Amino acid sequence: MPLAGVLGATAWMALVGGDRANNAAGVGHFLAQHPVSFFLALQLSVMALDTTLWLCYRPAKPRDDRPLPSVTVVIPAYNEGAMVERSIQSVAASDYPHDRLEVLVVDDGSRDDTWFHMEHLRRRFPDLVRLLRFRGNRGKRAGLHAGVLAARGEVIVTLDSDSEVLPDTLRALVAPLVDDPRVGAVAGRVSVLDRSTLIGAMLDVQFSLAFDFGRAAQSTMRTVWCCPGALSALRRDVILPHLDEWLDQRFLGLPVNHGEDQALTNIILRAGYDTVYQRSAVVQTLTPRTYRQLYRMLLRWERSYVVEGLTYARFMFGRSRRGRRVLPVLHFVLSNVRLLVTHVGICTLPWLILQRPSRLINYAAALAVGAVLTAAYYLRTRRGAGFLFGVVYAFYSFLLLQWIFPWAVVTVRDERWGTR
């Protein structure tokens, strides 16, 4: 997301600037004495690259009925209760031709009334809804695996059981696949279903930036790093040969139980297909309401990023990846260097403030400026005062969430799901 880069850049500006930054004659000496200024320039360069790519992004136009492929929407569900009914109902209400659509719901050994709600919708839509049921809990990856194997559609759409699609979502989502046979997967736009809490309102801004900025920029390179499990469309014939390998994926000798969406994205990219983002394909999803739920979700995401980032690097830097990769590799390297520098800057912050307490005011001001600048991306696609929650999130994230990525690296082998 752009927030990390802007905040990292402004942090370094506040911490190492000031004494000589305004002295034009001392620029060379300043750079020699402060090599971190090079990284400041690097971060701003990444932001400039991302912004250029973002401005070039254009979504595909939805198609009429004639060229639409057959679609299977796979919904894995575990202890979701009545929410799974809302999810199935939203698909049933889609304007996608029902003779080319099926909904395959997998009950992953739920111990509540999830199966009851699934059965209710199957009776209501007998020609549309199919059900699978596990005797015990096997995990989301196993549920998706069973759903893909049983699917009849040419295109697999993954949908979380706590999410709802809009009526035109499916038609928009498959448009890039219809337009271009080189596209292997399409990422939908994930938005927050419940914005009544502070965390929900903040995440609404962050999700908008992650998708309408981050994935839009990646889509221009035709290399979206992660097509989210909450809503993605994948060519079934591309992922099917790799499905067992994906189910049995291991990292450092242990089974991988998270990051199933990013792992599928890597399979498609490794096979030489492109991955793109479709802004007009919207899904609304439930998000954490408490700090504990939030940090556990983010921790799971960051662990997935570490595992799948290494996988991505192996095939993008090697010869197994066919097709465009120069700009995606450059972007990957610069983004990860920026991430490292941001956390180094945060780790050195206490020592620098102890040296000069007045820097705390400088940093707070830089943080505020960075957050407001980031909000400008949000305002380009969504008007209103909601961007202020993005400014609040900048301070919330800095104070309460910066420990998550380092801890994810240290505990990367912890494969617990971590959200329930």
At 29 the pLDDT is 45
Burial class of residue 182 (count of CB atoms within 10 Å of its CB; 0-12, 13-18, 19+)? middle
Q: According to the model, what pLDDT value does residue 18 have?
A: 45
- Span 100-127, mean pLDDT? 95
pLDDT for 115 beyond 90: yes
Each residue of 55-108: pLDDT tens digit? 999 999 987 777 899 999 999 999 999 999 999 999 999 999 999 999 999 999
Structure tokens at 64: 């009429």
Polymer length of the chain: 420
pLDDT tops 80 at residue 136: yes
For the residues 6-32, what does the mean pLDDT come to?
45
pLDDT band at 32 (very low <50, low <70, confident <90, very high): very low
The pLDDT tens digits for 149-159 are 999 999 999 99
Residue 181's alpha-carbon distances to 29, 105, 218, 235, 272, in angstroms, are 53, 28, 19, 10, 11
**21 DSSP 8-state letter:** T
So what's the pLDDT on residue 391?
A: 86
Kindly report the pTM of this predicted structure: 0.88
**Contact status, residue 144 vs residue 158, Cβ threshold 8 Å:** yes
Q: Element (H or E) spanning 372, and its range?
A: helix 359-381
- What string of DSSP letters covers 196-226? SSHHHHHHHHHHHIIIIIIIHHHHHTTB-S-
Confidence of residue 353 (pLDDT cuts 50, 70, 90): confident
The CATH topology of domain 71-308 is Spore Coat Polysaccharide Biosynthesis Protein SpsA; Chain A (3.90.550)
Which has more confidence, 146 or 44? 146
Cα–Cα dist 315/313, whole Å: 6
Query: What are the helix (H) ranges across 274-325?
Result: 291-317
| Residue 347 contacts residue 13 (beta carbons within 8 Å) | no
Mean of pLDDT values over 41-54: 82
The beta-strand segments (E) located in 43-179 are 71-77, 101-107, 129-133, 155-159, 163-165
Q: Is residue 26 scored above 60 in pLDDT?
A: no
Cα 84 to Cα 88: distance, rounded to the nearest angstrom: 6
Q: Are strands 274-285 and 163-165 parallel, antiparallel or unpaired?
A: antiparallel
pLDDT value for 322: 63
Asked whether 270 and 323 are in contact (CB, 8 A), the reply is: no
* Span 380-395, pLDDT tens digits: 777 777 888 988 998 8
Q: What average pLDDT does this structure show over 237-264?
A: 92
| pLDDT at res. 64 | 79
More confident residue, 314 or 234: 234
Which is more confident, 129 or 33?
Answer: 129
Q: What is the pLDDT of residues 271-328, one digit of tens each?
A: 989 999 999 999 999 999 999 999 999 999 999 999 999 999 988 887 656 667 788 9
Residues 6+ apart with CB under 8 A from 417: 139, 140, 257, 258, 300
User: What's the Cα-to-Cα distance from 352 to each of 31, 129, 342, 395, rounded to whole Å?
Assistant: 18, 60, 15, 19
CB neighbours of residue 58 within 10 Å: 9
Question: What whole-number percentage of the chain has pLDDT above 70?
Answer: 87
Band of the pLDDT at 4, cuts 50, 70, 90?
very low
Give yes or no for a contact between 400 and 274, defined as CB atoms under 8 angstroms apart.
no
Q: Report the distance separating Cα 41 and Cα 51, nearest Å.
A: 15
Mean pLDDT of 260-265: 96
pLDDT computed for residue 82 by the predictor: 93
What pLDDT, on a 0 to 100 scale, did the predictor assign at position 27?
42
Strand residues in 109-207 grouped as ranges (E):
129-133, 155-159, 163-165, 183-192
Q: Edge-to-edge, what's the strand order for the sheet holding 129-133?
A: 129-133, 101-107, 71-77, 155-159, 231-235, 183-192, 274-285, 163-165
- Give the mean pLDDT of the chain: 86
pLDDT band for position 348 (50/70/90)? confident
Domain locations in the chain as residue ranges: 2-57+326-410, 71-308
